[in-house]
């Protein structure tokens, strides 16, 4: 609905019904009152009727019946809610009149199986106690039969009482419960031998000529029933809720306001309406008499107001409300029905007896009755609008407080980190505080949702509050978990720092040289296994203060990933391991020393056990002129290649010479192994994506060459992967040269037996050699210089030296050395750490046995292929599996989160084209300074 139409619909236009004029009823005052209250309460539709004696003196409808804007009329059916109970009581009294039911007879006389939890008491519950709600039957909130539509729905609901305990001794105290009237409805069925619906229709609705009244929602909708609404933070929202046949006798009759006038006339005239009578005079006298000391009689409530006793019943389902008041002394009855409600409304009473006196229609009916009978008006209450405002304000304030508290998590964490957590007492008190503050609401809500049926009933009335509470609970839960993690981390860091500071009498020194994929994993395992020992010191040495997850370098190069996110700072990954950012220069196995060069000084690190995990470097001795080619091994390699590729596009876009353009736009990769193929896949995708920003370069001007000396691409993998890679790269326009050894690399060309290609971008990925420091160690090595180890990863020549990864040669159970792959290095790292710990403890080391999981290769543009233990996958799914696998190879969640964000952003955008070349920036800065005559500058200093 348009906003304008919505406002229009809020202006309640009165529609008149058939009412006889009566000068004593202040019609305009009542109209004005209803209009005002309706606006204030934001009722979509309201219908009101007044009966004086046997005449309808006021019958009007206001507002809209449903979202289409259809007007409410006095004939529009509304759910009347618990006013239904007076109909059920009337039906029972009719049967009493007919001598078929005795008021003081036990319920079991009519329903022999009727039981409550305590079966001895069951036989003492009488029909009268049900009518006056003094039976002690509790409210039944179980919802499983609510929507059952068959004839036994009611019976099933009543049978649920067999599991319930009474709330009090039968006949003693009043306790409002629908169960009383559901049981009465069943008695009506059993005694009359017809369904409750049939009985009420034949004996009440038809005789009273209630033609717009129904006992089925489907039928009522067919006859123009209004839509019910619930307020969401004060705004009425239409909702259709299932009709509960199982609760019909307690609250589900649907009636128009005009029909309710007929009902009121019968009530005010000893059961007579026109020529028919629905109850004897005696029956009606009984019905209008309150029980001793009980404000609830036979289907009616009795309200004392000053000198007067008013007869009343209110009704409320989760989307309708109504109220009926009779002043027997004045012979006046009022009925008000509205098509909206929420739980909050039960506490709002604009003119009620007290703010807690009941729902808005109750207050309205009361005020209108006072106006119609010339009685003083009840005092103003808080009002639904004000209550909603307070409610909305509270929700808004609490939400803001929650957001502020969330935003301050980091501040609190920093403060806590500064102050530290001195001891266990402080730790536990912080944990307890965080638990109580953050988890009380989530736990309470889980409990209420699972174990409190009443909560579900409440949720039906007030969904806005409930959903808000659940949202807050989820946020609090996440906040609680974060705070607990922070507390744990700060405590652990404090403990670790104290531990490291107090470490003395070191007996065993373990040095891990190289903090790459394998080295860092080994250090972390040693941390877990030996970190808590005072007599063992573990040191990790790495050239950089980060470790690079090489399989992510391709995307970092193309800009899909922020360059730093393919690396992980080492220090946060370690707890009780000393980290040294330094370059290992020599491993002196004779003196058991690792010689390292740090930023300012060289030093010697003595060791008892050394783990060599220095990896490998690109083999530059294989092809003459390799020094002209770029390598792709480190983060710096990735950054330089990225800048270079973008630079070639920039230059080519303005280069007039066709020959030079060709060189600039030709990319050559030497080496068709996993690295070369993946790199070319990513580069073809990247360059093609970026081409749209270079309108001066045509797609057919781009040239890619891939050289592989072996017979097929990716010789280390199964043929399936190489065939896929070959096909895909050729489709992207790559000239794949297999069985083609490159003979020479020049400054801007590559030559092979069959020809030569001019290319400004040449990357060498044709094999690796073990790291020079590892290869120079005085231990047994293979002919390529790799440290020879036993299957336990221990050097074959020195029991204090361990090695694995790209710099080692370890025999697999098949006899072949394990391949130079990250998946092997990570697993070997664990075995190496375990074996070093075992040797320190005097236990024998165990062999490293690892069966490869398979191979995966990605080619950019969401294309990949994998062969996982024979399971062959290609395309998007393979690409997704590869990404997810490597995401979890990153040791820390913060880095994983950053990577996930980068990947998500890249799904919707093209890779970044920014080229930041720090060397050039420095030159630029110096030039600027010269031009400005200035000598300052951050980069030039």
Ligand X SMILES: Cc1cc2nc3c(=O)[nH]c(=O)nc-3n(C[C@H](O)[C@H](O)[C@H](O)COP(=O)(O)OP(=O)(O)OC[C@H]3O[C@@H](n4cnc5c(N)ncnc54)[C@H](O)[C@@H]3O)c2cc1C
Binding site for ligand X (CB under 6 A): 514-519, 541-544, 547, 550-551, 553, 583-584, 613-615, 632-633, 674-675, 771, 773, 805-807, 820-823, 825
Closer CB to ligand X, residue 372 or residue 513?
Answer: 513
* Angle formed by the axes of helices 27-41 and 360-373, nearest 10°: 170
Q: What are the backbone angles phi and psi of residue 148, rounded to the nearest 5°?
A: -60, 140
Half-sphere exposure of 727 (CA within 13 A, CB side): 11
Closer CB to ligand X, residue 191 or residue 825?
Answer: 825
Closer CB to ligand X, residue 338 or residue 526?
Answer: 526
Closer CB to ligand X, residue 517 or residue 837?
Answer: 517
Closer CB to ligand X, residue 277 or residue 583?
Answer: 583
For residue 152, the tally of other CB atoms under 10 A from its CB is: 11
Helices (H), 336-452: 360-373, 384-407, 409-419, 424-451
Contact 457, 141 (CB under 8 A): yes
Least spacing, CB of residue 557 vs ligand X, in Å: 9
Q: From residue 781, how far is each of 454, 514, 786, 850 by CA, in Å?
A: 76, 18, 5, 22
Residue whose C-alpha is closest to residue 465's, from 141, 232, 229? 232
**Residue matched to tokens 């001794």:** 169
DSSP H or E segment with residue 522: helix 517-530
Contact 881, 703 (CB under 8 A): no
**Residue matched to tokens 């409320």:** 316
Q: What are the backbone angles phi and psi of residue 909, rounded to the nearest 5°?
A: -140, 165
Rounded distance between C-alpha atoms, residue 751 and residue 767, angstroms: 18
DSSP H or E segment with residue 706: strand 703-707
Closer CB to ligand X, residue 111 or residue 866?
Answer: 866
Closer CB to ligand X, residue 519 or residue 531?
Answer: 519
Closer CB to ligand X, residue 434 or residue 765?
Answer: 765
Least spacing, CB of residue 803 vs ligand X, in Å: 9
Least spacing, CB of residue 543 vs ligand X, in Å: 4
Closer CB to ligand X, residue 66 or residue 806?
Answer: 806
Alpha-carbon dihedral 632, 637, 640, 645, rounded to 10 degrees: 10
DSSP H or E segment with residue 478: helix 463-502
Least spacing, CB of residue 745 vs ligand X, in Å: 19
Q: Supply 166's token pair.
A: 């009474």
Least spacing, CB of residue 564 vs ligand X, in Å: 15
Per this entry, what is the length of the chain? 941
Closer CB to ligand X, residue 821 or residue 913?
Answer: 821
Closer CB to ligand X, residue 78 or residue 818?
Answer: 818
Least spacing, CB of residue 580 vs ligand X, in Å: 9
Contact 701, 665 (CB under 8 A): yes
Contact 271, 283 (CB under 8 A): yes
Rounded distance between C-alpha atoms, residue 62 and residue 9, angstroms: 10
For residue 467, the tally of other CB atoms under 10 A from its CB is: 12
Least spacing, CB of residue 426 vs ligand X, in Å: 38
Q: Which residue is nearest to ligand X (CB)?
A: 516
Closer CB to ligand X, residue 371 or residue 553?
Answer: 553
Closer CB to ligand X, residue 245 or residue 883?
Answer: 883
Rounded distance between C-alpha atoms, residue 458 and residue 751, angstroms: 81
Least spacing, CB of residue 671 vs ligand X, in Å: 11
DSSP symbol at 703: E
Q: Supply 121's token pair.
A: 């008491």
Helices (H), 732-771: none
For residue 890, the tally of other CB atoms under 10 A from its CB is: 21
Least spacing, CB of residue 710 vs ligand X, in Å: 18
Q: Supply 403's token pair.
A: 């957001």
Least spacing, CB of residue 554 vs ligand X, in Å: 7
Least spacing, CB of residue 237 vs ligand X, in Å: 53
Least spacing, CB of residue 684 vs ligand X, in Å: 16
Rounded distance between C-alpha atoms, residue 118 and residue 165, angstroms: 6
Q: Supply 389's token pair.
A: 């405002």
Contact 679, 669 (CB under 8 A): yes
Rounded distance between C-alpha atoms, residue 909 and residue 864, angstroms: 20
Least spacing, CB of residue 561 vs ligand X, in Å: 13
Closer CB to ligand X, residue 296 or residue 886?
Answer: 886
Closer CB to ligand X, residue 535 or residue 716?
Answer: 716
For 888, the 3-state DSSP assignment is: coil
Please report the DSSP string for 655-700 in residue order. Answer: ---HHHHHHHTEEEEE--SHHHHHHHHHHHHHHHHHGGG-TTS-GG
Residue whose C-alpha is closest to residue 264's, from 62, 80, 486? 80
Q: Supply angle C-alpha 179, 185, 190, rounded to 5.
A: 125
Burial class (CB in 10 A: 0-12, 13-18, 19+), 743: middle
Least spacing, CB of residue 838 vs ligand X, in Å: 21
Contact 825, 518 (CB under 8 A): yes
Least spacing, CB of residue 537 vs ligand X, in Å: 18
Closer CB to ligand X, residue 319 or residue 809?
Answer: 809
Closer CB to ligand X, residue 64 or residue 642?
Answer: 642
Closer CB to ligand X, residue 131 or residue 523?
Answer: 523
Least spacing, CB of residue 767 vs ligand X, in Å: 12
Rounded distance between C-alpha atoms, residue 47 and residue 60, angstroms: 6
Contact 765, 618 (CB under 8 A): yes
Least spacing, CB of residue 644 vs ligand X, in Å: 16
């Amino acid at each position: 609905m348009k906003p304008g139409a919505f406002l229009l619909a809020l202006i309640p236009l009165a529609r008149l019904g058939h009412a006889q004029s009566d000068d004593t009823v202040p019609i305009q005052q009542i109209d004005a009152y209803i209009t005002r209250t309706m606006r204030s309460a934001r009722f979509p539709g309201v219908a009101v009727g007044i009966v004086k004696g046997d005449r309808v003196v006021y019958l009007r409808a206001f507002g809209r019946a449903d979202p289409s804007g259809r007007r409410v009329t006095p004939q529009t059916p509304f759910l009347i809610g618990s006013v239904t109970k007076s109909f059920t009581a009337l039906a029972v009294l009719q049967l009493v009149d007919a001598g078929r039911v005795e008021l003081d007879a036990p319920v079991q006389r009519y329903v022999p199986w009727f039981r409550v939890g305590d079966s001895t008491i069951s036989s003492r519950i009488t029909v009268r106690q049900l009518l006056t709600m003094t039976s002690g039957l509790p409210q039944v909130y179980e919802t499983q039969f609510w929507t059952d539509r068959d004839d036994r729905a009611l019976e099933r609901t009543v049978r649920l009482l067999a599991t319930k305990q009474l709330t009090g001794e039968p006949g003693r105290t009043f306790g409002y419960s629908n169960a009383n009237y559901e049981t009465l409805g069943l008695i009506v069925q059993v005694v009359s031998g017809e369904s409750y619906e049939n009985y009420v229709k034949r004996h009440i609705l038809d005789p009273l000529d209630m033609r717009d009244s129904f006992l089925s929602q489907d039928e009522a909708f067919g006859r123009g029933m209004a839509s019910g609404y619930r307020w969401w933070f004060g705004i009425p929202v239409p909702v259709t809720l299932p009709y509960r046949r199982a609760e019909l006798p307690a609250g589900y009759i649907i009636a128009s306001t005009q029909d309710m006038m007929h009902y009121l006339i019968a009530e005010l005239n000893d059961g007579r309406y026109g020529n028919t009578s629905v109850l004897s005079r005696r029956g009606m006298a009984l019905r209008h008499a309150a029980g001793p000391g009980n404000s609830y009689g036979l289907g009616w409530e009795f309200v004392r107001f000053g000198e007067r006793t008013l007869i009343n019943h209110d009704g409320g389902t989760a989307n309708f409300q109504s109220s009926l008041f009779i002043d027997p002394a004045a012979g006046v009855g009022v009925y008000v029905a509205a098509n909206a409600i929420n739980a909050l409304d039960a506490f709002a009473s604009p003119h009620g007896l007290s703010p807690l006196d009941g729902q808005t229609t109750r207050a309205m009916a009361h005020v209108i009755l006072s106006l119609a009978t010339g009685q003083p008006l009840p005092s103003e209450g808080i009002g639904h609008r004000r209550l909603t405002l307070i409610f909305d304000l509270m929700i808004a304030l609490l939400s803001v407080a929650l957001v502020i508290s969330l935003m301050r998590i980091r501040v609190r964490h920093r403060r806590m980190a500064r102050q530290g957590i001195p001891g266990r007492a402080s730790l536990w008190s912080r944990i307890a505080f965080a638990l109580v503050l953050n988890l009380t609401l989530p736990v309470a809500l889980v409990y209420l949702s699972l174990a409190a049926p009443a909560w579900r009933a409440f949720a039906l009335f007030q969904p806005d509050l409930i959903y808000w509470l659940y949202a807050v609970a989820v946020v609090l839960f996440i906040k609680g978990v974060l705070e607990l993690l922070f507390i744990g981390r700060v405590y652990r860091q404090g403990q670790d720092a104290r531990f490291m500071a107090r470490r003395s009498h070191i007996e065993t020194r373990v040095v891990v040289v190289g903090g790459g994929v394998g080295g860092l994993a080994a250090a972390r395992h040693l941390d877990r296994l030996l970190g808590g020992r005072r007599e063992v010191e573990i040191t990790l040495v790495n050239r950089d203060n980060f470790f690079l997850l090489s399989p992510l370098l391709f995307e970092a190069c193309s800009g899909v990933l922020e360059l730093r996110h393919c690396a992980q700072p080492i220090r946060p990954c370690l707890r009780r391991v000393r980290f040294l950012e330094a370059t290992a220069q020599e491993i002196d196995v004779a003196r058991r020393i690792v010689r390292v060069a740090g930023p300012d000084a060289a030093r010697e690190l003595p060791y008892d056990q050394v783990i060599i995990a220095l990896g490998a470097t690109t083999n530059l001795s294989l092809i003459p002129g390799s020094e002209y080619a770029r390598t792709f091994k480190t983060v710096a390699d990735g950054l330089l290649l990225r800048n270079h590729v973008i630079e070639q596009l920039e230059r080519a876009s303005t280069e007039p010479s066709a020959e030079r353009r060709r060189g600039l736009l030709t990319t050559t990769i030497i080496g068709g192994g996993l690295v070369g193929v993946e790199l070319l896949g990513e580069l073809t995708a990247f360059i093609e994506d970026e081409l749209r920003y270079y309108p001066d370069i045509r797609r057919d001007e781009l040239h890619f060459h891939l050289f592989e000396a072996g017979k097929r691409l990716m010789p280390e993998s199964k043929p399936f992967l190489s065939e896929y890679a070959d096909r895909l790269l050729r489709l992207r326009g790559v000239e794949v040269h297999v069985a083609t050894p490159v003979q020479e690399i020049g400054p801007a060309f590559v030559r092979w037996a069959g020809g030569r290609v001019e290319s400004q971008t040449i990357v060498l990925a044709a094999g690796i050699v073990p790291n020079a420091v590892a290869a120079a160690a005085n231990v047994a090595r293979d002919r390529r210089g790799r440290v020879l180890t036993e299957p336990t990863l221990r050097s074959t020549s020195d029991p204090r030296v361990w090695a694995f990864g790209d710099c080692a040669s370890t025999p697999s159970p098949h006899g072949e050395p394990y391949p130079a792959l990250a998946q092997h290095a990570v697993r070997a790292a664990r075995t190496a750490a375990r074996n070093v710990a075992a040797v320190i403890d005097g236990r024998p080391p165990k062999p490293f046995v690892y069966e490869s999981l398979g191979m995966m290769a990605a080619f950019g543009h969401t294309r990949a292929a994998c062969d996982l233990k024979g399971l062959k996958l290609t395309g998007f799914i393979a690409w997704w599996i590869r990404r997810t696998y490597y995401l979890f190879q990153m040791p820390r969640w913060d880095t994983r989160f950053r990577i996930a964000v980068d990947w998500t952003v890249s799904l919707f955008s093209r890779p970044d084209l920014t080229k930041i070349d720090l060397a050039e920036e420095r030159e630029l800065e110096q030039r600027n300074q010269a031009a400005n005559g200035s000598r300052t500058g951050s980069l030039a200093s």
